[in-house]
Structure 1
């Protein structure tokens, strides 16, 4: 059978299979399937049931909305989940023996997260609550609301994907009676609380909060163990950094949680921390393990994919994800610090759950030629069985290119890793153009995962080079930290050395037809590249940074991210200007397409406007495309029609100039 070439519109044919959750007895599981409704231009997600023994899959929910965060009750008789059937996410419960899902909450501002109480009679949740209001208060209806002024006091007043943050509204923790629907407020004070865990005996909560009066430069997180009956608090951790997502061991003695300190600012490796409730001490379980805990992969297919920081077994062993050498693998650990890989190389494990006795796991797995399915995995023997098959038809019908893993030495002899894709339907002896893709972050990584955009470029007849330059996760703490204060230095050399390496090894690449593109940090690097070399015949910059000086004040994270990444702030404008691609606009000779979202608060569109007007005023070959109703995540979670248009703009530009 001759397979067809992949198309941009294949986004509509793909299914995102995520969030496997095993039942307490390990005999059943639920998961979510997300797809794009082309006609309605929206994402739809449903809940599915899996019989682990037989492999039988049954759809449990229907409709035109999204389901997320499925969770079993302790007795295995019910599954709760979030759904946006009524605009805001609310909690729904479905009986495992059949029947319709029942809406449990009707909160004015919806539910952010929830955890079952072990008794099954209550569900703990967190949600946004206006100061002085109750969770049960109805939304005040205003027929024609007059515009009012937004008074800004602090520096954290806006966020990408949210816009201006609501004032006087805080994330609070409450409890709802499953039978009666009665709601009680548990947390106190005007602070943002996160619900982390409920003990197996039902007597304690773990929650996190920052109670600092001025949070502009306070990035500490207080993790608190709370006695539900007395509300007595025990602080188990309070340090600068990003911490949370806690899990009790089955005997309730230990609490595992995620942590990333501020030693290397936001480049610090994520770690697993353990708190011993008997000895009242904590330690970093992965302190001597030079790889980040969690999933650092960047791609564009998986929708709503979440994974726990850890999963305990009854023997008090742990499983967690690790991003390492281009893979996201499942790892196993003991409390004394022994850590071993538990899943194979060459995969992206983007979701998982482990049976409580540790006999097997359900893994959501992707690789460069597999969009993603759920596998039953024997953690002892390594035997693996695919149990969902939603993308089988797509894989059988469409020609997908298996990339070649590469490694090379950069200009300073640093080892750099990446991948090279040949064009689809490659013919020996022909010359092909090559496009270099650069990921965002920069503290993320390309991985052994399905990437629709990369496959599309290969289907259009391009070779594709994508590498993890210094600053990327997955190789070492030293490697990921190496880009800070040196944007456009060693990272630029890493990308260019990659081009030299593949040109030396692959005669099919036409060195006169090179293109480059990337978004966010990858957009910065695209801008930097075209200002420092004329090797490329075409470039597309997306959601980029062009001017660090203005970025400091206009980005939702600019005032601290600039210091974290560039090592300075507005006290050293000269350094910021030295590392700003806009400074080198006069050098640009490469035709540059500039793509940017109107509602991007992370890298605001003024970054693109400055670059475009500057280049245009200098008579450079450039074009500017603005996307309405889109934020920084257009390429991943944006409106489907705009995602298709974005891909058309990219491929159209390269077709014109390459």
Structure 2
């Protein structure tokens, strides 16, 4: 794979299964260089393989499909252009013209149907009055000053949050087959009166076309983000998650219930009342139980390190919360934007498991089943009408849809066919090597074409409580295509191997984690003779940037390094990052001496390795000052270095940055490696060209 092949990466959403179980709808999105954005539409996929998948919408970007419980209407989110916010749309399940239900200034983030199929609850950021009237083209200088009094006031990818909290709204859905709303001839300022929103600033659209949209009732008003909203099984209430009003010095959140017609929110509290960060909540179909996914926070309320996310179950009106998954060995997540249900009292969850992601079904009564496992990453799942549909990725696909038949997966789509035929896809090898103390270090190697000897890139993932997986990974594919053997492993500190594995680096970052990645490198060099031990590079982003910077201060065998969006100075990180007020303290300890002992900036004098520093200007997770200060320190000490800065991007540049910037990033990275580790596929002359 080459950088120009990015548009071949089709991402597939979690499936929406029709209530009769006969078909599913998914969204398929991809990077587009022409639009410099992500585009995609909805596809219907019949379970009958005699009927091929079919594109059913033609929007710029249509995502997050969901059938109404009666199967008559399909709801989804649509963006009408590169800069347009996502809005809520509905279309009759049998086909027709999609109808917009919202025109929110800051868009719609998520939504859920009512059991009677007549209403939708959605989440949207509500700007403070002083910030809601910014005209198109006006900049921050036109805004009022912000007075900050809390720890939690910014979020990477969002910016300031206190003056635009995510609130909940309920909107009535027009009956299928109803007469469409149109504007009077003189109600449009531009005289068109087309009955459709114009492609202009959202505030102007709302002023011109407000009569087109059914009125939405605002349910919540707390100055905090509200998420995971869903109707109760009887439709009378909405359950959601938010931080308690008094919360600031900890990360805890609670489950709340509010009447669907409006009223006061009531907190639904487990009887143990432990400090937890609750991520998702959903009531069982029989109405008796609340399922919620949460992780513990210790007595401090901020002790998040290596806390596995756990699926809990409790009575709907409150009571004892029972863990349905093992808090020590299992780390679960939703198979989509919310907990999916199966049967009257069952729930579906995903589990991170040693470089894979499994699908499990658990019930309030104790039943459980491992539905999908093996060398793949399940990304979504839903059950309806007796059909279990699963979206997944594996070494040969970036995303496809399958049905689970008699315990076996049957693929229904092949959205990576062009990727396989138009690129040289490299199959990763699963390997395990022993660390210096005998601990097993699991990972993968991607070997480039040719006889070798091959230069080696040791790559390190972020997190640190995250994992590399067996799924197709475009980063590794691009480097392998350029002639590099790519090593990637899950050292101690990673997720997916149990809590003890993740806790190993608490208070001692840069110890056993560094030991593990270097042992993985040495193990690969010892086993695979085609690897060139004299031509080594090292790279990583976020925590991977941290460990890369730490490694080159301790080990000088690498010809060059790339430190991307790195966590490089825990001292300045505390006051500048969105998570800075607790992250460094929990991982490294609170004293300056403890932080300095584990800080790459504290050991930058030891670095000799030529280093490319990559950072994004709008990164709030690892603010750009981390990269700028590290680059300056290297340059002042005479180390060959360069700073690559991406305007308008945040911490997610490599995953969801604009397609043009993602391509440029790859091109700069390959140019850097061509300078210090040239290959026949990535020759040194490329640096001059």
TM-score by length of 2: 0.86
2:325 maps to 1:268: no
Structure-2 residue corresponding to 1:51: 46
C-alpha displacement of 1:513: 0.5
2:578 maps to 1:549: no
Structure-2 residue corresponding to 1:301: none
1:236–1:275: 8 Å Cα contact kept in structure 2? no
**Out of 490, 493, 511, which is 2:515 matched to?**
493
- What secondary structure sits across from 1:564 in the alignment? helix
C-alpha displacement of 1:363: 1.4
2:369 maps to 1:350: no
Deviation per CA, 1:72-113: give whole Å up to 9, x if none: 111101011112227232210010111110001123333222
1:294–1:309: 8 Å Cα contact kept in structure 2? no
C-alpha displacement of 1:68: 2.3
C-alpha displacement of 1:267: 1.9
C-alpha displacement of 1:231: 5.1
Aligned counterparts of 1:394 and 1:518: Cα–Cα separation in 2 = 25
Structure 1 segment 90-129 matched on structure 2, within 5 A: 90-129=87-126
Structure-2 residue corresponding to 1:590: 609
C-alpha displacement of 1:329: 1.0
- What secondary structure sits across from 1:80 in the alignment? strand
1:416–1:468: 8 Å Cα contact kept in structure 2? yes
Aligned counterparts of 2:399 and 2:107: Cα–Cα separation in 1 = 30
**Out of 339, 343, 354, which is 1:325 matched to?**
354
Structure 1 segment 251-262 matched on structure 2, within 5 A: 251-262=286-297
Change (3 A) 1:207 1:500: same
2:547 maps to 1:525: yes
Deviation per CA, 1:240-281: give whole Å up to 9, x if none: 332132222221112211111113514200111112237843
2:189 maps to 1:150: no
Structure-2 residue corresponding to 1:392: 417
Structure-1 residue corresponding to 2:239: 206
Structure 1 segment 489-638 matched on structure 2, within 5 A: 489-568=511-590, 572-638=591-657
Structure 1 segment 439-478 matched on structure 2, within 5 A: 439-478=461-500
Structure-2 residue corresponding to 1:426: 450
1:220–1:239: 8 Å Cα contact kept in structure 2? no
1:212–1:218: 8 Å Cα contact kept in structure 2? no
1:314–1:356: 8 Å Cα contact kept in structure 2? no
Structure-2 residue corresponding to 1:186: 219
C-alpha displacement of 1:552: 1.4
Aligned counterparts of 1:517 and 1:160: Cα–Cα separation in 2 = 22
Aligned counterparts of 1:654 and 1:235: Cα–Cα separation in 2 = 55
**Out of 61, 72, 88, which is 1:77 matched to?**
72
**Structure 1 residues 524-533 or 28-37, which shifts more?**
28-37
C-alpha displacement of 1:514: 0.8
1:115–1:198: 8 Å Cα contact kept in structure 2? yes
2:286–2:344: 8 Å Cα contact kept in structure 1? no
Aligned counterparts of 1:233 and 1:155: Cα–Cα separation in 2 = 25
Aligned counterparts of 2:87 and 2:166: Cα–Cα separation in 1 = 15
Structure 1 segment 4-19 matched on structure 2, within 5 A: 6-19=1-14
Deviation per CA, 1:144-181: give whole Å up to 9, x if none: 673543322222222222233352x3332222122381
C-alpha displacement of 1:138: 8.7
2:31–2:659: 8 Å Cα contact kept in structure 1? yes
C-alpha displacement of 1:522: 0.3
Aligned counterparts of 2:137 and 2:54: Cα–Cα separation in 1 = 44
Change (3 A) 1:123 1:308: closer
Change (3 A) 1:190 1:432: closer
C-alpha displacement of 1:334: 3.7
- What secondary structure sits across from 1:513 in the alignment? strand
Aligned counterparts of 1:196 and 1:44: Cα–Cα separation in 2 = 26
2:391–2:399: 8 Å Cα contact kept in structure 1? yes
- What secondary structure sits across from 1:53 in the alignment? coil
Aligned counterparts of 1:496 and 1:525: Cα–Cα separation in 2 = 11
Aligned counterparts of 1:142 and 1:53: Cα–Cα separation in 2 = 49
Structure 1 segment 170-185 matched on structure 2, within 5 A: 170-179=165-174, 181-185=214-218
- What secondary structure sits across from 2:253 in the alignment? strand
Structure-2 residue corresponding to 1:303: none
2:430 maps to 1:408: no
Deviation per CA, 1:455-478: give whole Å up to 9, x if none: 111111111110001111000110
Change (3 A) 1:326 1:256: same
**Structure 1 residues 338-347 or 468-477, which shifts more?**
338-347
C-alpha displacement of 1:396: 2.7
Structure-1 residue corresponding to 2:190: none
**Structure 1 residues 464-473 or 260-269, which shifts more?**
260-269
**Out of 479, 491, 499, which is 2:501 matched to?**
479
Aligned counterparts of 1:604 and 1:166: Cα–Cα separation in 2 = 19
C-alpha displacement of 1:497: 0.8
Deviation per CA, 1:183-227: give whole Å up to 9, x if none: 2222244443335221232123212222333x4313221102344
2:442 maps to 1:417: yes
Structure-2 residue corresponding to 1:302: none
- What secondary structure sits across from 1:259 in the alignment? strand
2:305–2:586: 8 Å Cα contact kept in structure 1? yes
C-alpha displacement of 1:577: 1.4
Structure-2 residue corresponding to 1:361: 388
C-alpha displacement of 1:505: 1.1
Structure-2 residue corresponding to 1:3: none
Aligned counterparts of 1:279 and 1:18: Cα–Cα separation in 2 = 33
CA RMSD of aligned residues (A): 2.3
Aligned counterparts of 1:582 and 1:189: Cα–Cα separation in 2 = 40
**Out of 377, 382, 393, which is 2:404 matched to?**
377
C-alpha displacement of 1:609: 1.4
Deviation per CA, 1:368-393: give whole Å up to 9, x if none: 22222111122xx3332221122212
**Structure 1 residues 47-56 or 145-154, which shifts more?**
145-154
**Structure 1 residues 524-533 or 20-29, which shifts more?**
20-29
C-alpha displacement of 1:584: 1.9
Structure-2 residue corresponding to 1:647: 666
Change (3 A) 1:311 1:10: same
Aligned counterparts of 1:288 and 1:142: Cα–Cα separation in 2 = 49
Aligned counterparts of 2:52 and 2:36: Cα–Cα separation in 1 = 30
